[in-house]
Amino acid sequence: MSKNRHYQLYIDGAWCEGSERQTMTSQNPATGRDWASFACASPDDVDRAISAARRVLDDPEWRDMTQTNRGKLLYRLAELIEENAAHLGQIETTDSGKLLAETSAQTAYVADYYRYFAGLADKIEGAVLPIDKPDMHVFTRREPLGVVVAIVPWNAQMFLTATKVGPALAAGCSVVLKASEIAPAPMLEFAKLVEQAGFPKGVVSVITGDAENCAIPLTRHPDVDRIAFTGGPETARHVVRNSAENFAVTSLELGGKSPILVFEDADLEGAANGLIAGNFGASGQSCVAGSRGIVHRSILNDLATRIQEKMADVTIGDPLEAATRIGPLCTKAQVDKIKTMLSKATSQGAEIRFGGYQPDRDGNFFAPTLVTCPNTDIETLKVEMFGPVMSLIPFDTEEEAITIANDTPFGLGSGVFTQNVARAHRVSSRIKAGICWVNTYRAISPIAPFGGFNQSGYGREAGVDSIHDYTRTKTVWLNTSDQPMANPFIMR
């Protein structure tokens, strides 16, 4: 990977510096050294991107394009993503510290999301209504919602972009994609593929920058019709307030503190693997991280021992190396937060079974950590850690397990490990979360809706219905009578 890369903004089909010539640098989390710089958008740049997105909606090249041909463009984009998955994965790993094996595989799979929405592009249908009035033919049609602002974080940006940009383009909208100011390089590489796929100028712009100069003017811009946001709850509150300025339709996919319930009849091998995937996959930097392991008291020690044995020989190191299983965290601030939270948890009576330290090496590394908790007041059970920290707490009854699982303001992911099918149905129906995995964890598909309850946000991404979230319904009344319209002042 060459050093000192520089990325420009992609606005209205052209690459450019920000109008105020501001730049930021991006550090390689594995080394702690700068590896790239990128242009930052100003309010004027935001306005140019939104203006281009608004203009192209009335451009016959995009406005009059058939839905089938829009689907073909998305198919072409999917092919390009798949062809460039290794390159995109390397960029994302260098920028964010996630394992290359994960970033390249996830990027390749993301191509299927674009294919899925490409297939839905010409399946957007209206309906003829059996209206209760004579001589009236009434039908509905779904039309593009308009200008979409898609805001994605750094931790799963190719996936989270696909669930927003895919249905928006399939519906005929235009998109301004705002990449995180942390590790934005993959999104700017993605813009190159959008350009190569042949989308008309202005249909997709990709920008990044800080809150004051980029995010705020973007989310409150009067020409924005829809905001699709993934990020933290505090930022989301600002987004919602800003959307009051333009009444943009808004969906939020936020954080989580997901529970994984392990019952006494669970397959311990599968449960251990599920907890490891839910906590140490992506080094714990996942909104669906199953960081609250709620385990039947009779098996907690055996399960913890099994997890510890599996993690004993795990390699912590360079995320570009094939042998590495735990890479660095994206930012030093995450490492500092974890150290503070663990210190507080142990002062509250929690026990660190393994890990709990920062390896003696350059970069933002933190060892995978297992904490056992005597009660639900422990800090690591309350706060979204966004790092490789697993907390286990015992339960004695099914009702107690469900109560602990729902003792959170969040509600994104959840997991249940049991061999009792009746229990699986019973418990999954009572957990207050948008997703429940049974005897597995972190599985995704373009066919399956993704989203949360409570402070984990609202709205759903992926699935057949998500494309409708980027359309609005128009009702058309057609008088089929040969007679002129009746005099409205003569009541019958």
Pairwise CA distance, residues 284 & 289, whole Å: 6
Other C-beta atoms closer than 10 Å to the C-beta of 425 total: 12
Phi, psi of 469 (to 5 degrees): -70, -10
Return contacts of 228-237, CB within 8 angstroms, 24+ apart: 228/148, 228/149, 228/150, 228/151, 228/164, 228/168, 228/459, 228/461, 229/151, 229/253, 230/151, 230/152, 230/153, 230/160, 230/164, 230/254, 230/287, 231/151, 231/153, 233/455, 235/211, 236/457
Backbone torsions φ then ψ of 306, nearest 5 degrees: -65, -40
Query: What DSSP designation does 348 have?
Result: T
Q: Is 253 a catalytic residue?
A: yes
Question: Looking up tokens 């009335």, which residue turns up?
Answer: 58
Nearest residue to 279 via CA among 359, 389, 371, 354: 389
Instruction: List Cα–Cα distances, 398 to 263, 264, 295, 402, 405, in angstroms.
Output: 8, 10, 10, 6, 11
Which residues lie below 8 Å from residue 35, measured CB to CB, with a gap of 6+? 1, 3, 4, 5, 26, 27, 28, 94, 95
Q: Which of 413, 408, 409, 344 is nearest to 373 (CA)?
A: 344
DSSP readout, 239-275?
HHHHHTTTT-EEEEE-----EEEE-TTS-HHHHHHHH
- Specify the pairing of strand 174-179 against strand 147-151: parallel
Which residues neighbour 484 within 8 Å (Cβ) at sequence distance 6 or greater? none
Distance, in Å, from the CA atom of 492 to the CA atom of 489, rounded to the nearest integer, reads: 10
| In contact, 437 and 444? CB cutoff 8 Å | no
Question: Helix and strand tally (H, E) in the chain?
Answer: 15, 21
Q: Which stretch of DSSP H or E encloses residue 208?
A: strand 204-208
Distance (Å, rounded) from C-alpha 18 to C-alpha 435? 40
Provide φ and ψ at 22, rounded to 5°.
-80, 145
Q: Which of 92, 189, 253, 461 is catalytic?
A: 253
Task: Please give the angle made by the CA atoms of 347, 352 and 356, to the nearest 5 degrees.
Answer: 100
Catalytic residues: 253
